[in-house]
Chain A
Amino acid sequence: MRKLALSDEILLSIEKPARYIGNEVNMVKKDFNKVDIRFAMCFPDVYEIGMSHLGIQILYDMFNKRDDVYCERVYSPWLDLDKIMREQDIPLFALESQQPIKDFDFLGITIQYEMCYTNILQILDLSKIPLLAADRTEDDPIVIGGGPCAYNPEPLAPFFDLFYIGEGEMVYFELLDKYKENKANDGTRHTFLEMAAEIEGIYVPMFYDVTYHEDGTIRSFEPNHQNAKKIITKQLVMDISNTYYPDRPLVPFIKATQDRVVLEIQRGCIRGCRFCQAGSVYKPVRERDLDFLKEKAYNMLKNTGHEEISLSSLSSSDYSQLEGLINFLIDEFKGKGVNISLPSLRIDAFSLDVMSKVQDVRKSSLTFAPEAGSQRLRNVINKGLTEEVILNGAKLAFDGGWNRVKLYFMLGLPTETVSDMQGIALLSEKIAELYYQIPKDQRIGKVSVVASTSFFVPKPFTPFQWASMNTKEQFLSKAKIVNDKMKEMLNKKSLKYNWHEADVSVLEGLLARGDRRVADTILYAYRLGCIYDAWGESFDYDKWEQAIKATNIDMDFYITRERNTDEILPWDFIDVGVTKQFLKNEWKKAKKETVTPNCRMQCAGCGVAKFGGGVCFESKN
């Protein structure tokens, strides 16, 4: 039996010890002494969150298909264990072999959201790997970052040896082969990085220099090494029905956030919402084959024993074979005690019909994401959801027995006015009124309309990458405007309004569009004790403020300043396919409140057709 890295005493004195023992169903077992490459795959958040992430499950399966590689997992120790590990000087370990991360060849970190940046430093620190790439030696693993936040890697640049820009399925094997080659040639860490820099999609931050203008904007961003590419091109999988996808995903013992089989039906999104980074960087839409999905659904349910299967994609309703897929799932699995969960469906007759088949109408709620309170602002953000569509959907649903509605909005969008904000309350009220038009004897109790707002954070590679972001004070006063208006509504007793924390959003804004200078702030905040910033109980804005001050970060420069479309943005050296010119046009159109049709209605010539597949070539087949 494996020896655990932590003693019984420690495991019995912390919360949920099963986070740290590995041994889950479908865990891959190999002899770590008999492989050429040991890869530690990390999700820098607590186990239950990390284990719910599909991308890691895909890469874990893919890496371990190679006999010369053993891919293991590591997550952030929770605060209780973090403290004990520091006090007792226990090195961070991987779940499979329970061996120190420091002994691995690679530490791969998936970077899914900005608020996990200090957790990345926690992982390095507890692993006893120097936080700065420049300080690492031949004894340290190569630290590689990937995931959505790698599309602006600059605030993390000094902490990583390399970043991989693109979808995980693509170049890792080439990278691993180069690593073996370098090892066989008695190469050093540095010679490996030199070789890696030549691979498409690989960015080695130390091979680039940045200079700045007096006003703080970037003057130049240039390679300082001959192997480093001037432009890093995103790598993506074009045939996603003939690629890696696990048949035997890991099944955690403790309840993970995503305690079900996840079937990714397509990648990308045809709808060019102007605030959405995922929509932009995962373009173009690539659909998976129905037969591929059927087979995977069957295998994964069989091999995990999960009692639920969920479809995943940015906008499931746009999947062209949705009906066939859902009917298959219902026919095949519904009678076997398997629940089918269908997130992100557009509310219409079809979706209501399937929802009534797979979930308890009385217990479930309808979800709409209008994102903005008025049609004018929805045109600005290119969210093609009209009030009419929402009200029609709600009407159909109320007739079908639903009486709970959730609405999602953003505050702080470009060009927003007071009437846009008040529109959130007005739309909520209209939905409630619609319900009460149903004759009393046909209603099932009261309606509940819950409107939630998050604060808009501009993201790289969206048309709003140049936009001004609101301050905390602006955000909170906007939330108050919505809240006041809600209280004026006739049906206010049926309405509920929630808004997010503003502190976190502002910080997210700094990290999302930050440059290399922001790395000092992250390091400083970490040294002050910041970790788990995504968690309310441990987020400490005062410490962040202290770090921002100490590292001379001008929040106006990073947050409220509207960027000039001519300036060099920190992430300009990355080519995601969508051209800067397209984004500039979209930014202009946004200000003019002009919408851009989705990819299936009319190609907008965004630039990603150069990848040679997906929706861009659908009609031409």
Chain B
Amino acid sequence: MKVRIKFAKQGAMKFVGHLDIMRYFQKVMRRSDVDIAYSEGFSPHQKMSFAAPLGVGLTSRGEYFDIEVNSTESSKEMLRRMNETMVEGMEVIRYRLLPEDSKNAMSIVSEADYLVNFRKGKEPCSDLKNQFEQFMAQEQIEILKATKKSEVVVDIRPLIRSFEVRNDGIFLKLATGSENNLKPELVVDAFCEYLSVQRKPFDLLTERLELYGKNENGDPIPLEDFGVDLD
């Protein structure tokens, strides 16, 4: 049985990197007696795969990983068990059964929502709303991207699927995944370049809100919607 788990990562946990979060959840499986399936071989490992790594320093309300289990209780019970062994700042919010033929989360991720805030005193300009809207009104937003061999100019405008300057920060829906991947940092780089201002170090507070994958019609839907709650 395939199960998709959604979790939030808040507070001080943003300083724990992706690999360590993976190790953390491997231990959560054992602490909360999730009947997870193991691979064959001399040193078996848990069948678990994460959707998209989250950088150190970012919080999130919508992280995902998939597991394979041999048996399971209801979603409610599994969430309760796992949350009983969580540390402060980590919370498991969905536990959903996936159809047997589902692709894993990593391979279908297409977009991610972010909420970006500038720290106090580190804003690049005063009328953020206006300026950002003008920045986004450009037909092309070109940035220099360093590749292994050289630097290439890329247009990131199409990778910014939507945006909104809200009271609680700049909302960005960005292309994410193996094909196209845009980090909010790069958007801010481009924005500052557009303003012709130097970026201030550690200027951002960024939260990932949700991850999306393409369904069979090619439409992006939240990863949690691929599965169903177990009663």
Interface positions of A (Cβ within 8 A of B)? 1-2, 4, 8-9, 11-13, 17-18, 21-25, 27, 251, 253-255, 301-307, 336-337, 339, 359-360
* A-B pairs with lowest CB-CB distance, top 9: A305-B27, A305-B30, A305-B31, A17-B15, A21-B12, A360-B42, A9-B202, A253-B16, A1-B11
A305 to B27 CA separation, bound complex (whole angstroms): 4
**CB <8 Å contact, A12 and B43:** no
Other-chain contact of A305, B17, B28, B38, B45 (Cβ < 8 Å):
B28
B27 and chain A: residue at smallest CB distance: A305
How many chain B residues sit at the interface, stated as a range, is: 20 to 34
Interface positions of B (Cβ within 8 A of A)? 10-13, 15-17, 20, 23-24, 26-31, 38, 42-46, 56-57, 85, 87-89, 201-202
Given contacts A1-B88, A8-B57, A9-B202, contact A303 B31 (CB under 8 A): yes
- Taking CB atoms, residues of chain A closer than 8 Å to B15 are 11-12, 17-18, 21
Given contacts A1-B12, A360-B43, contact A251 B202 (CB under 8 A): no
A304 to B30 CA separation, bound complex (whole angstroms): 8
A24 and chain B: residue at smallest CB distance: B87
A18 to B87 CA separation, bound complex (whole angstroms): 13
A303 to B27 CA separation, bound complex (whole angstroms): 9
**CB <8 Å contact, B31 and A253:** no
Given contacts A9-B201, A18-B17, A18-B20, contact A4 B12 (CB under 8 A): yes
Other-chain contact of A25, B27, B29, B202 (Cβ < 8 Å):
B27
- Taking CB atoms, residues of chain B closer than 8 Å to A24 are 87
**CB <8 Å contact, B57 and A23:** no
A491 to B7 CA separation, bound complex (whole angstroms): 57
- Taking CB atoms, residues of chain B closer than 8 Å to A307 are 26-27, 30
Q: Could you list 24 examples of A-B contacts with CB < 8 Å?
A: A2-B88, A4-B12, A8-B57, A12-B56, A12-B202, A13-B202, A18-B20, A21-B15, A22-B12, A23-B12, A25-B31, A25-B85, A253-B20, A254-B20, A304-B27, A304-B31, A305-B26, A305-B31, A305-B85, A307-B26, A337-B30, A337-B44, A339-B43, A360-B43
A12 to B13 CA separation, bound complex (whole angstroms): 12
- Taking CB atoms, residues of chain A closer than 8 Å to B20 are 18, 253-255
**CB <8 Å contact, A255 and B23:** yes
Given contacts A18-B17, A21-B12, A337-B38, contact A1 B89 (CB under 8 A): yes
A336 to B37 CA separation, bound complex (whole angstroms): 10
**CB <8 Å contact, A23 and B87:** yes
A8 to B13 CA separation, bound complex (whole angstroms): 12
A172 to B206 CA separation, bound complex (whole angstroms): 46
Question: Of residues A2, A22, A253, A302, which shows the largest number of chain B Cβ atoms within 10 Å of its Cβ?
Answer: A253
**CB <8 Å contact, A253 and B56:** no
Whole-angstrom distance between the Cβ of B169 and the nearest chain A Cβ = 16
Given contacts A12-B202, A23-B87, contact A306 B27 (CB under 8 A): yes
- Taking CB atoms, residues of chain A closer than 8 Å to B27 are 25, 251, 304-307
A337 to B20 CA separation, bound complex (whole angstroms): 19
Question: Of residues A11, A22, A307, which shows the largest number of chain B Cβ atoms within 10 Å of its Cβ?
Answer: A307
Given contacts A25-B87, A305-B26, contact A12 B11 (CB under 8 A): no
A9 to B10 CA separation, bound complex (whole angstroms): 17
A2 to B88 CA separation, bound complex (whole angstroms): 9
A307 to B10 CA separation, bound complex (whole angstroms): 26
Other-chain contact of B57, A12, A21, A336 (Cβ < 8 Å):
A12
- Taking CB atoms, residues of chain B closer than 8 Å to A359 are 42
- Taking CB atoms, residues of chain A closer than 8 Å to B87 are 23-25, 27
- Taking CB atoms, residues of chain A closer than 8 Å to B23 are 253, 255
Given contacts A17-B56, A301-B30, A306-B27, contact A23 B89 (CB under 8 A): yes
- Taking CB atoms, residues of chain B closer than 8 Å to A8 are 57, 202
- Taking CB atoms, residues of chain A closer than 8 Å to B13 are 23
Q: List 6 extra interface pairs beyond A303-B31, A307-B27, CB under 8 A.
A: A1-B89, A18-B16, A23-B88, A304-B31, A339-B43, A359-B42
**CB <8 Å contact, B201 and A2:** no
Whole-angstrom distance between the Cβ of A252 and the nearest chain B Cβ = 9
Whole-angstrom distance between the Cβ of B52 and the nearest chain A Cβ = 20
Other-chain contact of B29, A13, A301, A305 (Cβ < 8 Å):
A305
Whole-angstrom distance between the Cβ of A382 and the nearest chain B Cβ = 38
A17 to B44 CA separation, bound complex (whole angstroms): 30
A18 to B11 CA separation, bound complex (whole angstroms): 12
Whole-angstrom distance between the Cβ of A21 and the nearest chain B Cβ = 4
Whole-angstrom distance between the Cβ of B87 and the nearest chain A Cβ = 5
A34 to B35 CA separation, bound complex (whole angstroms): 41
Whole-angstrom distance between the Cβ of A81 and the nearest chain B Cβ = 13
Whole-angstrom distance between the Cβ of A251 and the nearest chain B Cβ = 6
A113 to B120 CA separation, bound complex (whole angstroms): 46
A336 and chain B: residue at smallest CB distance: B30
**CB <8 Å contact, A253 and B24:** yes
A8 to B204 CA separation, bound complex (whole angstroms): 10
A2 to B201 CA separation, bound complex (whole angstroms): 25
**CB <8 Å contact, B12 and A2:** yes
A305 to B23 CA separation, bound complex (whole angstroms): 10
A303 to B23 CA separation, bound complex (whole angstroms): 15
Whole-angstrom distance between the Cβ of B148 and the nearest chain A Cβ = 25
- Taking CB atoms, residues of chain A closer than 8 Å to B17 are 18
- Taking CB atoms, residues of chain A closer than 8 Å to B30 are 301-302, 305-307, 336-337
- Taking CB atoms, residues of chain A closer than 8 Å to B42 are 359-360
B201 and chain A: residue at smallest CB distance: A9
A255 to B43 CA separation, bound complex (whole angstroms): 18
Other-chain contact of B46, A11, A17, A23, A337 (Cβ < 8 Å):
A337
A9 to B20 CA separation, bound complex (whole angstroms): 21
A268 to B42 CA separation, bound complex (whole angstroms): 34
A306 to B45 CA separation, bound complex (whole angstroms): 13
Whole-angstrom distance between the Cβ of B43 and the nearest chain A Cβ = 7
- Taking CB atoms, residues of chain B closer than 8 Å to A303 are 31
A13 to B57 CA separation, bound complex (whole angstroms): 10
Whole-angstrom distance between the Cβ of A26 and the nearest chain B Cβ = 9
B31 and chain A: residue at smallest CB distance: A305
A255 to B24 CA separation, bound complex (whole angstroms): 10
A25 to B86 CA separation, bound complex (whole angstroms): 7
**CB <8 Å contact, A302 and B11:** no
Whole-angstrom distance between the Cβ of B48 and the nearest chain A Cβ = 12
- Taking CB atoms, residues of chain B closer than 8 Å to A13 are 202
A429 to B29 CA separation, bound complex (whole angstroms): 48
A11 to B15 CA separation, bound complex (whole angstroms): 8
Whole-angstrom distance between the Cβ of B95 and the nearest chain A Cβ = 17
Whole-angstrom distance between the Cβ of A118 and the nearest chain B Cβ = 28
A23 to B89 CA separation, bound complex (whole angstroms): 9
A362 and chain B: residue at smallest CB distance: B42
A11 to B58 CA separation, bound complex (whole angstroms): 12
Whole-angstrom distance between the Cβ of B50 and the nearest chain A Cβ = 16
A1 to B56 CA separation, bound complex (whole angstroms): 19
A542 to B20 CA separation, bound complex (whole angstroms): 38
- Taking CB atoms, residues of chain B closer than 8 Å to A12 are 15, 56-57, 202
A302 to B85 CA separation, bound complex (whole angstroms): 11
- Taking CB atoms, residues of chain B closer than 8 Å to A339 are 43
- Taking CB atoms, residues of chain A closer than 8 Å to B57 are 8, 12
A305 and chain B: residue at smallest CB distance: B27
A98 and chain B: residue at smallest CB distance: B12
Whole-angstrom distance between the Cβ of A254 and the nearest chain B Cβ = 6
Whole-angstrom distance between the Cβ of B67 and the nearest chain A Cβ = 13
A254 to B19 CA separation, bound complex (whole angstroms): 9
A339 to B201 CA separation, bound complex (whole angstroms): 44
A11 to B56 CA separation, bound complex (whole angstroms): 10
A9 and chain B: residue at smallest CB distance: B202
